[in-house]
Amino acid sequence: MNYYTPLFALTLGTLTAADFQLDYNAHLNMTFGQASTDEAALATHAHDPNDEFTIQGLELNFSARYGDHIAGFVSYNTFLDAENKIDGEFEEAFLKLEDLPAGFELRGGRFLNRVTSQNNQHLHSWNFVDANLITTRFLGDEGLISNSAEVSYRLPIQHDSLLSVSFGDAIAHDEHDHHDGDHGDHDDHDDHDEEESVEGEGALLTDDILTARLKGIYQHTDFHQFIYGLSYLQGKNAYKKSGRIMGGDLTYLWRENGIEQGGKHLRASFEPIYRDFDYVNEDGDLSGSANEWGIHSSLGWGFKENWELGFRYDYLQGVDEPIEELEERHRSTAALTRSLQYNDSLSGHVRLQYSRDWIDGQGPEDAVWLQFQIDLGSGGEVR
């Protein structure tokens, strides 16, 4: 008979004590490259490459679980900003009650909201070096991070599906400016007395934000999977006016070995998004409403073990005057990724990417990036 019961155990990536478990992970992303224009001018997300050498992020993530129902997550990201200075912030810090009766979950704190296909993905899980265009245009330069309360419900249907609704306010990023691309001089209006305008960034939702997302995973067979999503947001924008965002996304995944690991794979995604918003300038003498739509599409072909060739096309419709800095934009991207797996606790990848941007009023701009990612730890994240 064994009378010894361990109360404490420590392994690389996991700390456990009785009913308490703490998983910790670290992810480092470094990028080298060059663009045909200023690199920061092409960046849209706070963690996109913004110079010839960029530390996109050093993410430290901690997931805690106590018993069957209590969980928490904290994520801190350190990076080089557009001025090559070290910056950082807590991206997420929340508590969660999970596996509650009738299929409910509750979450509260700071988190990346469950809207669109990419918003609640951390940098280390992106399929390309940089973020897609619709995430930053419609949700902000770090996506939508909010201080919110959220309730989720697992629908009682045959395949896995989750309906999540949250309410709260977007966090402010006034303490640092990630990308200072050249958008022209807005301080001298002597030549534009008769041409008033409003800044497009004010269209982003800031307060009293209600979000809703339905996400489902339909496993047609062991080899064919469909992931679908519907997103809706409404709230007050930086103009202190109302705004709405709605979108859908569909991903098809084929795996040569089905539910078993390894083998070739094919992943295809398509995501349209639309928003309308009211606006007013600082003086209050220019107001109105505007709307815009965009799409994100991507294809990933795992042609060999640990190798993937990816393609992406993004489009933003743009908004005409008097809204500034919401130009029409296209971007085409090709990426080759080599995944690395040393053991259960150490992995990463090397990624070579080429992008071509077309921004309204500018000629095409090219960029080439070489990204290195190192992942340390083996515990799963609380989401």
Task: Provide the token pair at 100.
Answer: 């509650």
Nearest in space to 32 (alpha carbons), one of 383, 381, 353, 382: 353
Report the C-alpha gap between 371 and 383 in whole angstroms. Answer: 26
Q: Is the omega angle on the peptide bond into residue 322 within 30 degrees of 0, that is, cis? A: yes
- The CB-side HSE value for 182 (13 A sphere, CA atoms) comes to 4
Task: Provide the token pair at 223.
Answer: 């080899």
Q: Where are the domains of the chain?
A: 8-174+202-376
pLDDT confidence of residue 182:
44
Q: Are 61 and 29 in contact (CB under 8 A)?
A: no
- For the chain, list residues with pLDDT below 50: 1-8, 175-194
pLDDT confidence of residue 379:
75
Q: Which run of H or of E encompasses 139?
A: helix 133-139
Report the C-alpha gap between 137 and 143 in whole angstroms. Answer: 9
Angle (CA) 258-264-270 rounded to 5° is 85
108-132 confidence digits (pLDDT tens):
999 999 999 999 999 999 999 999 9
pLDDT confidence of residue 10:
54
Report the C-alpha gap between 225 and 255 in whole angstroms. Answer: 9
Report the C-alpha gap between 136 and 257 in whole angstroms. Answer: 35
Report the C-alpha gap between 75 and 27 in whole angstroms. Answer: 11
Task: Provide the token pair at 144.
Answer: 């939508």
Q: What is the largest CA-CA distance in the chain?
A: 90
pLDDT confidence of residue 22:
92
Residue 152, helix vs strand vs coil: strand
Report the C-alpha gap between 22 and 13 in whole angstroms. Answer: 8
CATH of region 8-174+202-376, choose from 3.30.43.10, 1.10.630.10, 2.40.160.10, 3.40.50.970: 2.40.160.10
pLDDT confidence of residue 378:
76
Q: Are 57 and 45 in contact (CB under 8 A)?
A: no
